[in-house]
Chain A
Amino acid sequence: MIKPVSSSPPGTPIIEVRGLGKKFVVKRTVFGRPLAQVGAVDDVTFSLMPGETLAVVGESGCGKSTLGRMLIRLIKPSAGEVFIDGHNVTNVSHAVMREQRRHVQLIFQDPYASLNPRMTIAQTIAEPLMLHNIVPAGQRAKRVAELLEMVGLRPEQANRYPHEFSGGQRQRVVIARALASEPKAIICDEAVSALDVSIQAQVLNLLKDLQKRLGLAFVFISHDLGVVKHIADRVAVMYLGKVVEIGTAEMTFSTPRHPYTRALLSAIPVAAPPSQHRSRAARLHGDLPSPIAPPQGCRLHTRCPHARPECQTVSMALDIEPNGHANACAFWRELPAQDADHVREPRNPKLEKLFAAFEAMAARPALTVSES
């Protein structure tokens, strides 16, 4: 029997990493020997199945973007291995990697910096279509228009340049370009954080829809836990380069184990009238330690509300429960239960009625407006 070369046995993760690590040199001696290093990512292991969404959350500077870039080898790991579709790509040539990137796309955190200012939006989106020969030349313009419409932009905007777009519009152009190469997985680095909520909702719905139809997998790097809760199947929480908790979204949000995850959940700003705000007591205080000299033992001990002297010497190995929920706090079984207050948002019944009226009316058959 002949099989297409790219198809891999069922059950193969689309992306898998084992013991992945990256150190950046931030200071050298006059002779070029490293003096100080940032351990941006340290011993990270996970796998991503086709059709699955893994969210990566954590404090600014904890290594999320570095991890995302290593997955497509834009940065070479200093330790560990990366597999794409079952192939070890840790040391493959640039040419082989270029071919793989069609299947795994990265949406960068800074949309403007990843668009070529001298190319129109149409040229930008058509580039991967051409490069990977996805549709015949004659149909490219039509495909570009479809992709623009998918992300909520108007096709007549195709011939304009990036500087003529707003921040959120540029981010959607970048998403359209990533979708153009029809990848199997997309790494979204804060891909929707510059979008206002209504467009964010459109784009998230679109991503979920594509996932269902095409079996796309996502690594979703985000600091917005509301969005993560909505889109993720599994969540990995990082702190100073280490994964401190990983589990299904359901487990992570309803029974967060690690003190850092708990602190993150309690810091979420709530869109409610200021008179109804929650207390800020549960938030993490103190400064993020420097990744150049991370604390010994559990890296959270300098800020953890539950820290005890032993925490300065414990290892950060993940303790995996039978249901797969894993976390790196050596003392998690002894911690007080987290009250579920963080998940309840106050609501005003009259306002609920107003939302319901909006939704019900919006669901009526297409509104007809004479565009005069």
Chain B
Amino acid sequence: MSTSQDILSNPSARSVRADDAVTPVLEVTDLRVAFEGDARTVTAVDGVSFTVRKGRTLAIVGESGSGKSVTSLAVMRLLPEHSARISGKVNFDGRQLLDETKSAMRSLRGNRLAMIFQEPMTSLNPSYTVGEQINEVILRHRPISKKEATERAIAMLRLVRIPSPETRYHQYPHNLSGGMRQRVMIAMALACDPELLIADEPTTALDVTIQAQVLELMRELQQKTGTAIVLITHDLGVVAEACDDVIVMYAGQVVEQCSVEQLFTFPEHPYTIGLLGSLPRLDEKRESLVAITGAVPDMANPPKGCRFQARCPFRIDKCAEMPDLMEVSPGHFSRCWRAPMEDLVP
């Protein structure tokens, strides 16, 4: 039976070279996604650009509804075609994904491109066992026998720390706990050593100890295979521990972009400041948490100017105009007229 060691030393795994860290695996340029409704058009993603390099992890954080999932679904070409209008460029290893045929996308997905979805129950089929579903993915992309696929599927389940994987293999999704289902999704996504993995809130249902193990596992696999990872999460602890770079989204736009170290040392956008300030902390107990008051703007009819202005305590008259994403210090970008924030706290 194969062990986690076998998986990690899989001969098809690519090794990481020194110059890999600069090779972009995914380059998204000026991505826009609009949903056409009966009476209204919602612009969910509005001019988003970012790059993910080989062996690196990019975090996407941001307000609920800011377009994180839609961005990743657009990259994977999984948005409903009848209602979503997509423009911009998505370059994956030299291929323009927005121009690829449907069948080309189908053979990329699950193989070189993998995605872990936000809600595991909606992407697992309730009428097949979890083992059958992982096997199906492996057999679709790998020329191996059914028996070998089964062995690999069980090894993957063991790798994501599911106890008694041989028994769990034969169970249906509803027989598993929420966190186990999430790990089944992770096992499925990693089964074919993808070059790019987009993980949408992959650990929200996991408790801290398993979360730490799963994140470490993703890191380990990444070091072996050089997989580039996009990790969508609202858990800032996960960003701090598992990611290298980060983009912060607000109302369909990137409002801050920097390294993880920079983000937690000194954020440069008011939304991020509010976000970090509203974290429940273990070393103090407050009556109520600092919340960013107000709600996100209606994306069918966004305000002119800065999209955070109605909720921003640092707002000035100039904010009625839309700021660009500007470099505040080397490698640290912010879409705010008042950056650098240093000037606000003398």
Contact = CB atoms under 8 A, between A and B. Distances in A.
B237 A269 contact: yes
B273 A354 contact: yes
A46 interface: no
Contacts of B78: none
A113 B237 CA distance: 27
Nearest to B260: A274
B314 interface: yes
Interface stretch (A52-60, A129-137, A306-314): A52-60
A166 to B, nearest CB: 4
A344 to B, nearest CB: 5
A265 to B, nearest CB: 8
Interface string A176-205: 000000000000011001111111111011
Interface stretch (B5-13, B14-22, B282-290): B282-290
Most chain B beta-carbon contacts within 10 A, residue among A263, A288, A369: A369
Interface string B267-298: 10010011111111111011011111101001
Interface extent on A, as a size class? Answer: 35 or more
Contacts of A195: 64, 234
A164 interface: yes
B15 to A, nearest CB: 25
A59 B177 CA distance: 11
Contacts of B303: 369, 371-372
Contact of B313 (A193, A205, A264, A367): A367
Interface in A58-95: 58-61, 65
B201 A59 contact: no
A280 interface: yes
Interface string B232-276: 001111111100000000000000000011001111001001111
B328 interface: no
B63 A60 contact: no
A140 interface: no
Given A195-B64, A226-B280, A345-B283, A292 B167 contact: yes
Interface stretch (A9-17, A96-104, A357-365): A357-365
A26 B64 contact: no
Interface string B91-126: 000000000000000000000000000111110000
A128 interface: no
A215 interface: no
B314 to A, nearest CB: 6
Contacts of A301: none
Contacts of A274: 240-241, 260-261, 264
A264 to B, nearest CB: 6
A227 B234 CA distance: 13
Contacts of A358: 270, 273-274, 277, 290, 313-314
B208 A267 contact: yes
A369 B281 CA distance: 32
Given A196-B275, A288-B161, A355-B276, A263 B64 contact: no
Contacts of A143: none
A41 B211 CA distance: 22
Given A199-B63, A269-B241, A354-B345, A113 B122 contact: yes
Interface string B320-332: 0000000000000
A197 B279 contact: yes
A254 to B, nearest CB: 10
B175 interface: yes
A351 B313 CA distance: 16
A61 B278 contact: no
A364 B312 CA distance: 11
A283 B65 contact: no
A354 B266 contact: yes
Given A61-B179, A152-B295, A199-B63, A226 B282 contact: yes
B262 to A, nearest CB: 8
B282 A268 contact: yes
Interface in B298-316: 298, 303-304, 309-315
Given A201-B291, A372-B304, A109 B278 contact: no
A113 B121 contact: yes
Interface extent on B, as a size class? Answer: 35 or more
B175 A273 contact: no
Given A230-B289, A253-B282, A270-B237, A351 B266 contact: yes
A194 B304 contact: no
B61 interface: yes
Contacts of A169: 64-65
A271 B264 contact: yes
B210 interface: yes
A209 B332 CA distance: 39
Contacts of B337: none
Nearest to B282: A343
A39 to B, nearest CB: 13
Contact of B163 (A223, A280, A290): A290
Nearest to B214: A60
B290 to A, nearest CB: 5
A193 B201 CA distance: 10
Most chain A beta-carbon contacts within 10 A, residue among B179, B208, B304: B208
B208 A225 contact: yes
B234 A197 contact: yes
A141 interface: no
B209 interface: yes
Q: Which 4 A-B pairs have the closest CB atoms?
A: A60-B179, A168-B64, A269-B237, A361-B313
Interface of A: 24, 26-27, 36, 57-61, 65, 109-113, 152-154, 156, 164-169, 172, 189-190, 193-202, 204-205, 208, 223-227, 229-230, 253, 263-265, 267-275, 277, 280, 283-284, 287-293, 342-345, 348, 350-351, 353-355, 357-362, 364, 367, 369, 371-372
Given A202-B291, A367-B315, 17 more contacts: A61-B163, A61-B176, A113-B121, A166-B70, A168-B65, A190-B205, A193-B204, A198-B274, A201-B290, A224-B280, A265-B282, A269-B211, A292-B167, A351-B267, A367-B310, A369-B309, A372-B304
29 contacts: A24-B175, A57-B207, A60-B178, A60-B210, A65-B177, A65-B178, A110-B120, A153-B295, A168-B234, A169-B64, A194-B201, A197-B278, A199-B64, A202-B291, A225-B282, A265-B282, A268-B208, A269-B211, A269-B212, A272-B240, A290-B163, A292-B167, A345-B282, A350-B345, A354-B341, A354-B345, A358-B270, A367-B313, A371-B310
